[in-house]
Amino acid sequence: MVYRYILFNKPYNVLSQFTDNSDSNHRHHTLKEYISVDSVYPVGRLDQDSEGLLLLTNHGQLQHRLTDPKFAHPRTYWVQVERIPDTTALKQLEEGITIKNYRTRPAKVKLLSVEPSLPPRNPPIRFRKTVPTAWLEIMITEGRNRQVRRMTAAVGFPTLRLVRIAIADLRLDELKPGEWRDLNSTEIASLFKFKSKI
């Protein structure tokens, strides 16, 4: 079997799947509109309203390793939040937050001094002249459902825009929204280096 490893920059409002299984009359955009490679599947997911790096492969063992929390590979996000987080909120995010019935693992969090260079989102986030926004860089080692959004909301700074810029050593770099490329051999090897933390 020939294994494929694909890096895709998922645009906003695209489902992280190849088929639209919703019951509504509204048709959703899917990966099929962008990737014409048979039998590859997303490793983990990005919500419809999130953007950025998505890894796809037909290598089942790697898929398992990268979605199993015990292997704890890092994922890095640029997160635009409502208002300017203070040091207390940043420390809470770093130390871990209890959301519903679990506590998030410690994260690396920094307040960005300048807005990151990203293509404009379509549609843009809502603009409120009286409410400032800030950008954070957040690196987590688990990928629970809507985790980053729930973390920032829990400390009082709701997420407005969320872009995954890195999965382990793989970076967004020059990949534009809707573009994909195959990984090179060095990048593929880097994905197998994660050892179980449990």
Element housing 98 (H / E): strand 98-99
Q: Which residue has the tokens 């940043």?
A: 90
Cα(64)–Cα(100) distance, integer angstroms: 26
Enumerate the H helices of the chain as residue ranges.
60-67, 87-95, 147-154, 185-191
Of 20, 23, 47, 173, the catalytic one is 47
Nearest Cα to Cα of residue 42 among 29, 30, 57? 57
Distances (CA, A) of 97 to 33, 100, 103, 130: 37, 10, 5, 28
Enumerate the H helices of 107-195 as residue ranges.
147-154, 185-191
The residues with which 159 forms a beta bridge, in sequence order, are 81
> Is residue 173 among the annotated active site residues?
no
Q: Which residues are catalytic?
A: 47
